[in-house]
Every structure is written in structure tokens, then in C-alpha cells.
Amino acid sequence: MDTDRGGVGIVGLGKYLPSRAVDNPAIEQGAGLAPGTIEKQTGITRRFLVDEGDTATAMAVAASRQALDAAKVEPSGLGLILGCTYTPDYVFPALACDVHRVLGATGAGAFDLMANCTAFQVGAMVGSDRMHCDPELGNVLVIGTAIVSRALRWDDPTSAIYFGDGAGAAVLGRVPAGYGFLAHEVSSQTRAYESVRLRRPAPGSGERTFIEMNGMDVWKQVAQHQPGVVRRAVAKAGLTLDDVDFYVFHQANLHLITYLMSRLGAKPNRTYTNVERIGNTAEASLPIALCEAVEQKRIKHDDVVVISGVGAGFTFGASVMRWYDPPSASRS
Amino acid sequence: MSGRLEQLHHVVALALNVDDAEVGDDASMDTVGAWDSLRHLYVVMAVEEAFDVKFDDGEAVAVTSFALIRGALERRGLTFSS
């Protein structure tokens, strides 16, 4: 990395959760499951779901405004907006363009990218790479937004038990050399391409399609490939796993996160989980968890932080950062 | 040594939250109802900790029976005799 040009890091985070909390009994009843099944299988006890009038853009804007406030950046300071979602309000134009319009970020480019539940990490990679390549580019806003509930069959226990809705956002900004993103890694294993999918209806069929999941394939993919992508990202940063202070994973399943921490030889107190309280919020999961971990001061200035996700396809990603927290930096 | 074999039965049974008697030499994900994909993660973690070994990521996914776990441990020099 060319450290002479300074770093690029996360300088503000925001999140939004819908107000309607739904506990497990309602989901278990709809999916024909015995009481207690969901918590036993996933660790999830509650999720928050949108109501009829809620939109992906409105959630994205709410999370973005909080992130911009935290970063002390005006919408006019944005050079790029990246929308990460597979559940936008429109097939096109991009959700990022709608956020651009609502925020009045007239100086920014805007587009969406698709990497399912690891899209936020991929968006952070694209955004930080763009800032490294273009020293004139303003701040980058990366948004993960998910209204998964509208793509679920509530009588399908293989998918209905996991998901919640929400949005998370991060503002990327320039930080001193040696801080911010140190390395990124993305890799794909596509043998299980069909294992998690949301198909388009066949033309003229009138069919409505829903998320389909093969949980066994998801487990195999994550257990087999996600630890490796983290190890490669950490090595690419010139560090070892012992150097990592804190991990934030895509919040798919509490048991999987416990397993990942074990594979990486890390004590459980070096990660943050909220899947128990909000479920799997897809692209929003990583930024919401990161936002809450920072709010709760689980991450501090100078910490080496790894964010890692896995998305259908399957695409695995990990980013390594040295955390920059301006208030403590100015005190030290 | 039978002690180590008994220990392995016990460690797997404990991770699966079933009686030791349910984890015979032929036990696998196909024969033990509690041995589902997520519980398997706990089996791997428990065996690694109890026998101070580390499976590689692919092997950890593949050792889905008592015999396969035993074989993986034997390849690491641990001996079992009934």
C-alpha cells in the first residue's frame, strides 16, 4: 500500500431498523415449527420487519443521514454513493440514485452493486479503492439496505426463520497514513450457485417467486471457505491473526459466528453479535453490527478490525482496517 | 487405548447433547437425529479442544461421522483401540 498518500477509512456509521418487532412464536407458528426451534437453530429471538408503506430508499436515507452526521460530512461532500441491496424498491434505476436524489448529493456519482449479504464489505472495498485511485474524490457513502421480508414465504421454515429488515451505512473518508483499510479480499465458490437464490418469475407465468435456501449447503460453504478469506486478507495486510483485535461478521447465524471465531483462534469477546436481537438483515447486517459495536465502544482507536461476509453465489469477502477514531486520536 | 476411545464417544455425545450410548462407532449425521449441520460445528470445536488438534477447514466440514473423526485423529498420530 502507498502510505505516503494517506489512508481511507470509515469515518461515520449509521443504522435504521423498522419499528415492528416480531418475536419467534409468530414465525414458528407460521412455519409449522415447535416453540423454541428458531432460537435453538439460529440463536435468533427477534427481528424487525417493515410495514406496507416502508421503502428501501427511506431506510437507506435514514441510515445514511446518521452516518453523515457521525462523520460530520454534508451530502455536498460526497463523491460517490454505493447502494448494496437485492431488495430495492425498483428493479432500476439504482437505489443509490434515489438516495442521491433525496439527500441532494449533487456532486456524487451513484450506482448499486450486487454481492448479496457480503455486498457492504464489497462496497467498502470498491469505495476505498476508488478513493485511493482518485485523490480528488470526495467522501464515499456505502449503504446496505434489506427488505428481505417481502421475498419470504412465511410457511417455509428453511428461509423464514432467519431474516429481518433494516439498513446500515458508512461514510468513507481520508485518514492518516497507516489507518483505515489495510487490505481487502474477495473470492467466490460457485459450485453451490443454486443453493440460495431468488429467481425471476418465468415470463408470462404470473408466478411469484421467493427466497429459496439449502441450509446444509450454506453451512458447508461458510465453514469451508469463510475462515480462509479472512486469513488471506489478514496476511495481505502484513499481519497475523494474533494482531486482530476485533471481528465483525455478517450476522447470519449465531452458531456460525461462534464457529468462525473458533476456526480463527479468537476468543468470543473479540466479536460483536446482534443476530440474536435483529436476525439476518442481509446487506444491512455488517454495517448495522459495525455501527452498534462502535456505539458500544467495543472498537477503539488503533484496533485492527476485520469485517467479513458471505453472500449467495457464493461470494466471500473480508476487509482489514486499523480503526481511526478522531477524538481519541487527537487526545493521544 | 480404550480410555481415549471412550473419551471420543463422550466428547461427541456431549457436543450433540445426547447420551453416550447414542454415539456408537457407526454414528453419523445420517444416523443420529441431533447431529445436524449446525450441531456439527460444535462437534468439530469440541473434538479439536479435547484432543488438542486442528482440522483444516475442508476436513472439518467432511468429518461427518464418528469413524471419519476417529480416522482424522489417527492421521494425527492418536491411537485408539477397542
Q: How far is CA B82 from the centre of its chain?
A: 16
Distance CA A146, CA A311 (A): 13
Q: Is residue B65 part of a domain?
A: yes
pLDDT bin (cut points 50, 70, 90) of residue A3 is very low
Q: Is residue B63 part of a domain?
A: yes
Residue A38 cell numbers, joined:
428458531
Distance CA B21, CA A208 (A): 48
Domain CATH number, residue B21: 1.10.1200.10
Taking only the tens place, the pLDDT of each residue in A209-220 is 999 999 888 888
Do the beta carbons of residue A155 and residue A275 sit within 8 Å? no
In this complex, do A225 and B57 lie within 8 Å of one another by their Cβ atoms?
yes
- Local structure of B15: helix, strand or coil: helix
Taking only the tens place, the pLDDT of each residue in A35-47 is 999 999 899 999 9
Q: Which of A215, A228, A255 is opposite residue B57, by nearest beta carbon? A: A228
Q: What is the pTM of this model?
A: 0.93
Q: Is residue B35 part of a domain?
A: yes
Is A280 a residue of the active site?
yes
Taking only the tens place, the pLDDT of each residue in A123-165 is 999 999 999 999 999 999 999 999 999 999 999 999 999 999 9
- Local structure of A302: helix, strand or coil: coil
- Local structure of A311: helix, strand or coil: strand
Name every chain B residue with its beta carbon within 8 A of the beta carbon of A255. Answer: 38, 41-42
Which pLDDT score, from 0 to 100, does residue A6 have?
85
Q: Is residue B79 part of a domain?
A: no
Q: Is residue B28 part of a domain?
A: yes
Q: Is residue B82 part of a domain?
A: no
Tell me the domains of chain A and their CATH numbers. Answer: 3-175 (3.40.47.10), 180-331 (3.40.47.10)
Q: Which residue has the cell 476456526?
A: A263
Which residue range forms the structural domain that includes residue B68? 2-74
Q: Is residue B81 part of a domain?
A: no
Domains: count for chain B: 1
Q: Which residue has the cell 487490505?
A: A183
Which pLDDT score, from 0 to 100, does residue A330 have?
47
Name every chain A residue with its beta carbon within 8 A of the beta carbon of B48. Answer: 262
Length reported for chain B: 82
If you average pLDDT over residues B18-31, what whole number do you get?
93
Question: Between vectors from CA A22 to CA A16 and to CA A25, what angle results, nearest 5°?
Answer: 155
Mutate to test the interface with B, among A213, A214, A224 (most CBs of B within 10 A): A224
Interface check for B48 against chain A (CB to CB < 8 A): the answer is: yes
Strand ranges in chain A using DSSP code E only, listed in sequence order: 7-16, 20-23, 46-49, 78-84, 109-113, 139-146, 166-175, 180-188, 196-197, 212-213, 246-249, 304-311, 315-322
Is A139 a residue of the active site?
no
* Residue A202, C-beta contacts closer than 8 angstroms, at least 6 positions apart: none
Name every chain A residue with its beta carbon within 8 A of the beta carbon of B45. Answer: 258-259, 262
